[in-house]
Structure formats: structure tokens, C-alpha cells
Structure 1
């Protein structure tokens, strides 16, 4: 039985130290060893096409435990979050979300069936509620971004805004290493990252150019 830690920061954030520290402190307090490792993505939470997350998803086994700090570190789309949590449950993987205390309890050890059912119901309700909060937050963020872009266009500042990057160059470099090591094909990686053909090869060209410098 292995314990995995996962944390994600958005492309605008620079460090994942705070989240990793929270994971390590929780495990230290509970006497847990993160034997599976701690994995971090610097990528948007809008979808789950993230290299480190996908690596955990494919590697984690029945009986293992995945620990994350907050629901929105897992994702920002309610239906997709619940879909991923169902995947882990069906696979026999236990998920602990530090901001939801009830997920830290193993209800299967409760002898009272009625009490266990009530706690599981409460836990599921909390998970649903936090998933909704995560989606609402990204919708508010997108609304503010659209309003900001519209305002820049009206002021004639659109050229200064530029086109947002599909993902961080460092994140692409980390993912592309698997192509170089023959772990995955270029086509499979492009689909995994959710990049168009032209965007993928633009990132690839920039990555190879940086290696030559």
C-alpha cells in the first residue's frame, strides 16, 4: 500500500512549495510516509491533461492512497472532478482531501452500519459542495478575464495583451522528456496534453532550441 501526494499550481504561480509543505506536514502528523512520491503540475486545472497527474493516475494501484490539499488543486470542473473521484473509488484507491476533514476517516472500520452510512452520505455531500465551489471559482475567474480583455480592446491595448500560452514551457519540457525516452509517442503526448498539431510542434521547436543554447 503506497501513499501519493499531488499538488497543482496555475501557470501564473511560480512555486508549489506551500502545497507540498502542507502535504508533508499532514503526513508527518499522521505518521504517513509518502512512499509513492509527491507529484506537482504547473498547469491550469481546467482539464486533467497534466503529465504528473496522468502519471499518478496510471501508476496508482488498488489499496493505495492519494492525498491532495484542496479540491481545486485536483481540478476546476465539477463533473470532471466527480468523474475522477469515481475513477479512484472504482479502482480501490482512497482519496484524502485535506480541506475536507471527513475524507481523512476510514468509515469501513465503523461497526455501526447506520452511523457509517450517515458519515458516508455527509462526506459525499461535502465533496459535491467543494466541487461546485471549485467550478464557480474558475467561472468567476474566466468572466473577469473576458471583461479585462474586452476593456483592453476598447482602450486599443489588445496588442499588448498577447495570446495566452497553452501551457508552461517547463511543463512541456518535463512531458516531452517521455518522448525522448521512448515512454510515449509524440502523437500520444500531443493528445494527452490537449494541444493542437501546430501548437505542439511550436512548443517542440522552442524546447529543442533551448537545449541547443
Structure 2
């Protein structure tokens, strides 16, 4: 069954990158086992959204395949696009390997690497919830101009999962995590322990979401 899985590569360069970067990406992908016929390549500026070969690459991938990129930033225009793209790969059962850069530890074809997919899924869900919360907060503020501050953010299933994944990492800064999630330290520690284990309140939030 392993023999039927394919390695697919994607490379992206801007005009400022020059041909050396192009060759570097191609060589790295070939060394990783990507065949020339399964290499997709775009040349675009950082601000340009139109990337036809990335769209073709994502469309060609099938469950069990592995997408290989040189660096994580080759795959996404920005963080939101990157998160949604990786989440989509997760849903489709497609692996992801990053060869170099800050994301070089990502290899979701391994058992330990599968945790990364869970983090991206939580990020995608958190992004959707954050947009919804900002909309609600904006409407609330518009109806009550005399009150200070907007509607307080509550702990949601996505925030709980993201907190669990983040607190389990040694380099996580609690203050920054709380600011990102829009919660206090007290709220965080009521739901998740410092080592990333679910506490009673956290289990309740996840249990309520499953019962809906």
C-alpha cells in the first residue's frame, strides 16, 4: 500500500529571488524523492494572489500522498492562507513535509508530526471563531457606546484545543498565548494546566461542543 503513495513537490519564487533560489528549491525537492513530473512551480511576487500551479498541485493531491515544500512560507501567502491550506490537507488525508527553515521539523507522515495537523486545525477553527467574536463585539459596541470595552471573549472548544497544544510546548509564553486567545491567565489555568493537560473546566467546554 505504501508503494501507491506519491511524493508531490511545490516550489515558489518571486522575481527578486533569482534563479539560484529556484535551482536550490528544485534540487532539494528532487533529493527528497520528488519526480520532475510531479513538481509544480510558480513565479510570483509576494503580494500576488494568483498562483495557478499551487492550485493545480493541491487539486492533484490524493489521500495518502505527501506534499513536500522547501520552506513553509512557500505554501501560504500569509498565516491565514497557510493555516487554511494545511487544515485542508489534514481533512483530505494528505501528508506534509517541510525541508528547511523554521518549519523544518514538520513531517506529518510520522507519528509525532501528526500533532502539527491538530495544531493547524485548532488554529483554523480559532480564526473562524475570532472573526465571529469580533463581529458580535462590534455590534454590541455599536448598540452601547456609553460602555467601556467590548463583549468579553469566552473560552471556546478551539481555544481549549489550541491552549492544550501550545502549553505542551516548552517555548510557549503564557502571556502571549493569553493575549492571542483574548483571555486572562486565570481563565487559561482553569481550563488547561501549565503542562498542557485538560482540567475540569476544559473538559466541560469540549464536552458541551460535542453534545450540540
TM-score bracket for this pair, using the shorter chain length: 0.3 to 0.5
